[in-house]
């Protein structure tokens, strides 16, 4: 921590975020539900298991190709529930609005939240609104919490040979936000992949019981999720660069700006660890859904190096994929 101060990197979803959560929040809030550090806490009630999660959204700009802060707030929380094998049911909506914020803009954002919630099959059932003095915010911040019923029981532990599957191209969201923020002047536009994943995940889990792990690779991207999987585990992960799906526009922008797509944020992607024998069939199932048309196997669980992720490059080499430390672009969600 720089001079014992919070920096932008502490909100990037990378290593500093990870350390802040483990060394501060888990230290003080420690309990078996929180300490698992999953996207949602799974709680056992007398007759059912529920998942509960919360997230805050501070994205800038508020509107970007493919979405806005309202759509993002619904999708992000729905997806955090869905990747825990839960059926999302209810959301809260808390808004912190800066005075003089345009009413029609706010209505557009709220209408987008309502439309996205209907698409995701959830209801927004409670909320709160605070207005702060002009100059003390950045227009609008949103917090959503969500609750869902767990309908899927994950199989036993991850094993050597299990496959890593993703449902489509990486980096679309972060590049869309970057383009909207910086007005880069490219002749093409990249739209965010922002979408609720619950229907896709239900579609897959109804047909396959081989999914051992799911996570949506938001801040910190694919690299962050995979490093969390292998942390302190007796196995590693090998990725195949030739199998990593990227839009040509994203690939080109990354090449020009020096970004690594493995670390770019996504808002409509799910990473799965799947039994090797079932992985090809599962990919076929995903491709039958509109949000899974570009699904593919991108890597596998390996016995060594333990606790590490590496990339088999297109030229036949190997490159270590570390947990992200800083941030390529702040305030992307």
| CATH for 179 | 3.90.650.10
Cα gap 147→145, rounded to integer Å = 7
187 and 257 together in one domain: yes
Over range 293-298, report the average pLDDT: 98
Per-residue model confidence (pLDDT) at position 13: 82
**The pLDDT of residue 83:** 98
CA torsion sign for 107, 108, 109, 115 is positive
Residues 175 and 313 in one domain: yes
| pLDDT 10s digits, 242-295 | 999 999 999 999 999 999 999 999 999 999 999 999 999 999 999 999 999 999
- Are 213 and 177 members of one domain? yes
Helix, strand, or coil (residue 127): strand
Residue 302 lies in a domain: yes
Residue appearing with tokens 């993002």:
72
User: How confident is the model at residue 11, as a pLDDT?
Assistant: 81
Q: Are residues 104 and 128 in the same domain?
A: yes
Residue 91 to residues 52, 76, 191, 192, 198, Cα–Cα distance (Å): 10, 11, 25, 22, 14
Of the residues 95, 129, 150, the one at which a domain ends: 150
127: containing domain: 38-150
213 within some domain = yes
Q: Is residue 44 part of a domain?
A: yes
Are residues 113 and 202 both part of a single domain?
Answer: no
The model's confidence at residue 321, banded by pLDDT at 50, 70 and 90, is very high
- DSSP H/E element including 211: strand 211-215
Among 32-41, 118-127, 180-189, 303-312, which stretch is predicted with the lowest mean pLDDT? Answer: 180-189
Does 97 share its domain with 203? no
Residues 311 and 170 in one domain: yes
Query: Residue 163 has what pLDDT?
Result: 99
Same domain (yes/no): 144, 169: no
Q: Does residue 264 share a domain with residue 194?
A: yes
Instruction: Give a yes or no: residue 1 inside a domain.
Output: no
Q: Cα separation of 188 and 165, whole Å?
A: 28
Per residue in 215-232, pLDDT tens?
999 999 999 999 999 999
Give the containing element (helix H, strand E) for 174: helix 172-182
pLDDT tens, position by position, 163-215: 999 999 999 999 999 999 887 777 778 999 999 999 999 999 999 999 999 99
What is the model's pLDDT at position 3? 62
58 has a pLDDT exceeding 90 = yes
**Percentage of the chain lying above the pLDDT 70 cut:** 99
130 within some domain = yes
Specify if 6 maps to a domain: no
**Res 323 pLDDT > 80:** yes
Note whether 184 and 60 are same-domain residues: no
Number of structural domains, the chain?
2
Q: What is the pLDDT confidence band of residue 2, given thresholds at 50, 70 and 90? A: low
Asked whether residue 28 is assigned to any structural domain, the reply reads no
Task: Examine the domain organization and report whether 186 and 129 are in the same domain.
Answer: no
Model confidence at 28: pLDDT above 70: yes
Looking at 127, 150, 173, the residue that finishes a domain is: 150
- C-alpha span between 54 and 310 (Å, rounded): 31
Residue where a domain stops, chosen among 150, 180, 203: 150
SS3 215: strand
Burial of 138 (0-12, 13-18, 19+ CB in 10 A): middle
Q: How is residue 7 annotated by DSSP?
A: -
Closest to 332 in 3D by CA, of 161, 129, 192:
192
Q: Specify the range with the lowest mean pLDDT, choosing from 19-28, 72-81, 177-186, 253-262.
A: 177-186
Q: Is residue 272 part of a domain?
A: yes
Q: What is the pLDDT of residues 121-144, one digit of tens each?
A: 999 999 999 999 999 989 999 999
Q: Report whether pLDDT(1) > 60.
A: no
Residue 254's H or E segment, with its range, is helix 248-257
Shared domain for 213 and 297, answered yes or no, is: yes
């Amino acid at each position: 921590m720089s001079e014992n101060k919070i920096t932008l990197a502490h909100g990037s979803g990378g290593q500093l975020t990870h350390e802040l959560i483990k060394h501060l929040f888990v230290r003080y809030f420690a309990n078996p539900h929180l300490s698992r550090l999953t996207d949602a806490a799974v709680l056992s009630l007398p007759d059912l298991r529920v998942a509960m999660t919360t997230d805050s959204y501070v994205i800038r700009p508020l509107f970007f190709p493919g979405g806005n802060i309202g759509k993002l707030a619904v999708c992000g929380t729905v997806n955090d529930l869905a990747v825990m094998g839960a059926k999302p049911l209810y959301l809260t909506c808390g808004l912190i609005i800066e005075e003089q914020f345009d009413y029609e803009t706010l209505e557009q954002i709220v209408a987008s939240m309502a439309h996205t919630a209907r698409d995701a099959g959830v209801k927004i059932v409670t909320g709160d609104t605070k207005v702060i003095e002009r100059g003390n915010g950045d227009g609008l911040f949103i917090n959503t919490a969500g609750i869902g019923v767990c309908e899927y029981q994950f199989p036993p532990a991850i094993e050597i040979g299990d496959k890593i599957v993703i449902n489509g191209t990486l980096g679309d969201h972060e590049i869309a936000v970057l383009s909207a923020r910086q007005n880069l002047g490219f002749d093409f536009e990249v739209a965010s992949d922002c979408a609720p994943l619950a229907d896709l995940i239900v579609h897959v889990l109804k047909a396959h019981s081989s999914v051992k792990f799911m996570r949506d690779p938001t801040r910190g991207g694919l690299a962050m999720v995979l490093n969390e999987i292998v942390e302190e585990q007796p196995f590693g992960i090998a990725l195949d660069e030739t199998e990593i799906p990227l839009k040509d526009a994203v690939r080109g922008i990354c090449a020009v700006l020096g970004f690594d797509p493995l670390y770019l944020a996504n808002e409509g992607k799910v990473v799965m660890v799947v039994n090797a024998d079932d992985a090809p069939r599962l990919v076929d199932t995903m491709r039958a859904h509109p949000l899974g048309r570009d699904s593919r196997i991108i890597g596998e669980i390996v016995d060594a190096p333990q606790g590490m992720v590496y990339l088999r490059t297109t030229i036949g080499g190997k490159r270590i994929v570390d947990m992200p430390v800083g941030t390529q672009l702040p305030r992307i969600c």
